[in-house]
Structure 1
Amino acid sequence: MKKRVYLLAGLGIILIGADLRLPITILPPILPQLHTILGLPTSVSGWLTTIPVLMFALVSPAIGKWGVRAGNPQVLFYSLLLLTVGVAIRVITNPILLFVGMILIGIGLSGGNVLLPSIIQEYFPKQSALLTGIYPAMMTLFSGIGTATVVPILKATNFSTTMMVFAVLTVLTLIVWGSAFKQLPQTNHQLESEEEAEGDFSVKNYRVTWLITLFFGIQSLLAYSLMTWMPKYWIDHGFVATTSGVLATFFQIFGIPMAIVTPMIAKRKPGMIGMALFSAIAVSVATFGMLFPTHSFFLNALWSALSGMGTASAFTLSIVFFQQKTVRFEQTAELSGTAQSAGYLSAAIGPIASGYLINQFHSWDMIFAIYLILSISLGFLGFGIIFSKKIGAES
């Protein structure tokens, strides 16, 4: 691959990472304003952020298989095209088009979620650890930037202009990847086993697939549930909304460096073991600490930081598992699609189920006890994955 194409494709991957959550995370801060601007009831507007996550769950397996058949770079381009149409539709101030846009955005983002680990493994094997760390870090960074800036931009302009401002990154990403993917060398998709030749091969036939699926699902549930409910937990325990918001930022900020360093540490089995232990221990300590409410800003900031570090590390470790537990990049795409389908379904259900339990039993202790048990299970699942054979490896 020529150096220029290599650099262009690498830039495209970084930009895709930056755009993987931004189109979704800019909406929660402005949901109250959408009630006035579009006349959306609060109960309905809440679905705007749930729809894309449900799309992740529904279409991820199909995208993984499509990538194997048609080529990952091409399918990723078509996904970005759908994403661009989705963010463009949102510019029109119309509630129906807003929901249509969110459906397209969910489908488009699924392409990046599922295919980036495989594309990095296929075209950037020597830079795999670096890029696998950078793109989740960019995802977290730009998600935080969007959350912090969307309200001031909306106040200074209007809804359409605000959506156009954030659509610029998506358009730029489409242009860069569109310029790069056509120049990437075509991979020869040869069948490498009798099982594949007979059409019987599926990653679903391997035990490690379901261990990784459970791991990804639990870390998704924990991350989305903690992000959703920790601010209310702090408010219910005496912190004002502003302070609660500051505490919540520690979750995002401390997750960024962990996303970068996790794949670098987890190149070898000892590193994977260390990061699996760290992820489980960090979230376990945080959720255990929140079982004992305190008005100490320092302790609550520590719980927020630890939970952010642990969940970010677990997410990036999942991507490492996709790459390290498969022999070929085609299997990586299929494994990624299978695991992320169940994982993002958990991400959609987790916050809703948590809210139901909180309202039903009026007990934060129950919620954080459940989170603690799930956090501990991450460690056991991690060990099970690490010591399992690779998918497609010779018996």
Structure 2
Amino acid sequence: MTKRASKALILLAVVLVALNMRGSITVVPPLLGELTSDLGISRSTAGLLTSVPVLFFALAAPLSAWLGRRFGAGHAVLIGVVLILVGTVGRVLDGAPVLFLGTAVIGLGITIANILVPVVIKRDFGQQAGRVTGYFVATMALGATLTSALAVPVADRFAWRGALAIWAVLVPVALLGWWLHVTRHERREKAEAEAGTAAAGLATQTPAAGASHSDGYVWRLPLAWALALAFGSQSALFYSMTTWMPSILVDRAGLSAGVAGIALSIYQITGIPTALTVASLCRLRPSQGWIGATLATGWLVFILGLLFLPALWPLWAVVGGLAQGGGFTFILTLLVLRGSDEHAVRALGSMAQLIGYLIAAAGPFVAGWLAQSTGGWTAPGLLFVGLATTLGLMSLIAGRDETIEAPAR
């Protein structure tokens, strides 16, 4: 097989995994009304169904990085995809405790993929990593769009349990694609390295700076903290709005649950154009802070428009979609650009996702609590404005033309 063909197949595997990395979360918000009624849980408790996997994105980040060091990024991602499958099927088999437990398993699986798929991209695509990261994020947006748009129609036919579980049919396809084109490729390279004929791949490289010691050095770097806070602000905005945008539209614009679900799907799908283009924009200048500031402005327009001119919700859904799609690609591309090699990217990704997703996990829960406590969406709106402002400021710092290298041992 030629090197070009091999890279094309690895790209296909990346896309197949990405398709399964957001749908199990974004399928929940359009069904919150039915879930709360059937399970007898409050609005703020239901918001935890989005917060729980995001919390695992943070808490399991060190474990994910360790799995990458121990087994290789490709093999570890395979474990993550299996966990997504188990959680997606298992969480609908009983009541609320099982639902939350299965959602936590999904969160663990997605965390592994969140951290280590970018490592595979950096390792296997080199200078094309930014572009491939765009494809990765765009496909996540596509998966999120499909699930949010079809959640209510599927639930009308199969109830909410069927609407949550049906997306498990996509996961085995991703498992097969990843095993064929990444895991076996990584295994072959390891065998060649052990035979003395090659020394390529995360799991098989001769230990060098950053390859065999702790990733803890990044915690002392201001640039890494700026990346982490930008990551947290972007993620908190995305998951908070994904969770509560349908409810805001029902309350403020008087939409039905079905139309609010369509609005959420517009918000998801319009993230694809910016997900595909922002990585290229990041290559235009050595510094990328201006891109983050622009995206933060888009978030502000979306939030304020939704709260104060809700009748124009189609416009705000598009603006918000462009901001969220571009925001994820921007942050992930910065992680790839700021790291000098795949080991630095793994260290940065582990820290950024630990701190960032701790912030993000609080977003949907705190927004739901503020809405329930105040009886409206103004207080949550102020929270969202603060997050967008933080995103803009931290992006200006993280976007500086600097590269992080692992210290020599």
Give the TM-score category using the shorter length. Answer: 0.7 to 0.9
- Name the counterpart of 1:285: 301
Match for residue 348 of structure 2 among 335, 341, 346: 335
Distance 1:138 1:87 in 2: 19
- Give CA deviations for 1:247-272 in whole Å, capped at 9, x if unaligned: 44432232111111111211243572
Q: Structure 1 residues 225, 98: CA separation in 2 closer, same or farther (over 3 Å shift)?
A: closer
1:357 and 2:370 correspond: yes
1:22-101 matches, within 5 Å, as 22-34=23-35, 40-43=39-42, 46-90=47-91, 92=93, 97-101=98-102
Gaps of 5+ in 1: none
Gaps of 5+ in 2: 191-200
- Name the counterpart of 1:143: 144
1:237 and 2:258 correspond: no
Q: Structure 1 residues 96, 352: CA separation in 2 closer, same or farther (over 3 Å shift)?
A: closer
- Give CA deviations for 1:275-314 in whole Å, capped at 9, x if unaligned: 22321221123334456x23643xx333332222112212
Distance 2:374 2:159 in 1: 41
Q: Structure 1 residues 25, 304: CA separation in 2 closer, same or farther (over 3 Å shift)?
A: closer
Q: Structure 1 residues 46, 307: CA separation in 2 closer, same or farther (over 3 Å shift)?
A: closer
Distance 1:130 1:72 in 2: 20
Contact preservation (8 Å) 2:289, 2:397: no
Match for residue 250 of structure 1 among 250, 256, 266: 266
Q: Structure 1 residues 306, 41: CA separation in 2 closer, same or farther (over 3 Å shift)?
A: same
Q: Structure 1 residues 69, 268: CA separation in 2 closer, same or farther (over 3 Å shift)?
A: farther
- Give CA deviations for 1:123-180 in whole Å, capped at 9, x if unaligned: 0124323321112111111212112223333443467765563211111111111122
Contact preservation (8 Å) 1:91, 1:160: yes
- TM-score, with length taken from structure 1: 0.87
- Name the counterpart of 2:404: 391
Deviation at 1:28, TM superposition (A): 3.4
Contact preservation (8 Å) 2:18, 2:140: yes
SS of 1:277's equivalent in the other structure is helix
SS of 2:126's equivalent in the other structure is coil
- Name the counterpart of 2:381: 368
- Name the counterpart of 2:225: 210
Distance 1:288 1:333 in 2: 36
SS of 1:125's equivalent in the other structure is helix
- Give CA deviations for 1:342-366 in whole Å, capped at 9, x if unaligned: 2222222112212222333445444
User: What is the RMSD computed on CA atoms of the aligned residues?
Assistant: 3.0
Contact preservation (8 Å) 2:292, 2:396: yes
Contact preservation (8 Å) 1:89, 1:97: yes
Deviation at 1:10, TM superposition (A): 1.4
Deviation at 1:111, TM superposition (A): 1.2
Distance 1:363 1:158 in 2: 29
Q: Structure 1 residues 83, 288: CA separation in 2 closer, same or farther (over 3 Å shift)?
A: closer
Paired residue type of 1:232 = S
Distance 1:4 1:92 in 2: 42
Paired residue type of 1:226 = M
SS of 2:60's equivalent in the other structure is helix
SS of 1:327's equivalent in the other structure is coil
Q: Structure 1 residues 277, 165: CA separation in 2 closer, same or farther (over 3 Å shift)?
A: same
Contact preservation (8 Å) 2:27, 2:164: no
Q: Structure 1 residues 278, 234: CA separation in 2 closer, same or farther (over 3 Å shift)?
A: same
Deviation at 1:81, TM superposition (A): 2.1
Paired residue type of 2:90 = I
1:307 and 2:335 correspond: no
Distance 2:148 2:305 in 1: 27
- Name the counterpart of 1:119: 120
182-191 or 260-269, which deviates more: 182-191
- Name the counterpart of 1:326: 339
- Name the counterpart of 1:377: 390
- Name the counterpart of 1:317: 330
SS of 1:302's equivalent in the other structure is helix
Count of aligned positions: 389
Distance 1:295 1:49 in 2: 24
Match for residue 189 of structure 1 among 205, 225, 238: 205
SS of 1:189's equivalent in the other structure is coil
Paired residue type of 2:75 = Q
SS of 2:117's equivalent in the other structure is helix
Contact preservation (8 Å) 2:85, 2:171: yes
- Give CA deviations for 1:224-249 in whole Å, capped at 9, x if unaligned: 22233333333433433255444444
Q: Structure 1 residues 34, 377: CA separation in 2 closer, same or farther (over 3 Å shift)?
A: closer
- Name the counterpart of 1:227: 242
Distance 2:120 2:230 in 1: 22
Paired residue type of 1:253 = I
81-90 or 43-52, which deviates more: 43-52
- Identity of paired residues, percent? 28
